[in-house]
Amino acid sequence: MRHLREAADEILRGISEAMEELDLSQVEGMLEALLRTRAGRSRVLVVGAGRSGLVGKAFAMRLMHLGFDVYVMGETITPSVGEGDLVLIISGSGSTALPVTVAGMAKRLGARVLAVTSHPDSPLGKAADHLVLIPGRERRAREEEYSSRQMLGEHEPLAPMGTLFEDACMVFLDSVIAELMARLGTSEEEMRRKHAAIE
């Protein structure tokens, strides 16, 4: 169980550090964009590939509980987006083909793009109207570095691939929901009434 405990410690430490590094002006811009969309009765489309997409689905569910007109890309009931709508794209690398393509299409349709990423200079970061930076694992070590790292006492992170970004992103987006609840004056009981009764 040593790896389990060490991985948990590393993940929790990574999330805590990521939250400390948040640029609150970026977060305020995200909150304002979301609230403006809700007030204008526009749509929010949440986009993410793979595990980032799962994080996005969880966030979209909570936005729905708060009364947002929100959809997840790829679902059969998702309508078209256009002028005034907000496309929220989650991608740690900011280079994954699908999110980058969606950002370009959204801009052409007149929607605003809000990116949550670790890389502001990525194609997604450059295409976004607004972004929030969530630090994640910076790079994957090359195989030939292994011996050198061992001699220096360094180890490969126990959280593989994009795990730190995705976990930190989940905590961040749940925290955004708490802030939105406060600003909208919405109680948990009100949210519960919008929760699925059949499941």
Provide the pLDDT for residue 144: 43
Query: Whole-angstrom Cα distance, residue 52 to residue 161?
Result: 12
Provide the pLDDT for residue 146: 39
DSSP 81: -
Which residues are CB-contacts of 99 (< 8 A; sequence separation ≥ 6)? 47, 48, 49, 52, 89, 90, 91, 124
Provide the pLDDT for residue 153: 52
Report the greatest alpha carbon distance in the chain.
Answer: 58
Write the pLDDT tens digit of every residue in 113-170: 999 999 999 999 999 999 999 987 644 444 444 344 445 555 455 555 558 999 999 9
Provide the pLDDT for residue 184: 96
Which residues are CB-contacts of 155 (< 8 A; sequence separation ≥ 6)? 149
Mean of all residue pLDDT scores within the chain: 88
Write the pLDDT tens digit of every residue in 7-33: 889 899 999 999 999 999 999 999 999
Overall pTM surpassing 0.75 (yes/no): yes
Supply the CATH classification number for the domain 2-190. Answer: 3.40.50.10490
Provide the pLDDT for residue 2: 86
Residue 79 pLDDT exceeds 70: yes
Q: Which of 166, 179, 189, 199 is catalytic?
A: 166
Domain range list for the chain: 2-190
Please state the rounded mean pLDDT for residues 88-106.
Answer: 96
Q: Which of 158, 117, 168, 132 is nearest to 14 (CA)?
A: 168
Q: How many other β-carbons are positioned within 10 Å of the β-carbon of residue 63? A: 22
Please state the rounded mean pLDDT for residues 40-64.
Answer: 96
Catalytic site includes residue 144: no
Query: Whole-angstrom Cα distance, residue 45 to residue 106?
Result: 10
Amino acid found at 18: A
Which two three-digit tokens encode residue 71? 């959809």
Helix (H) or strand (E) holding 174: helix 163-184
Which three-class secondary structure state does DSSP give residue 95? coil
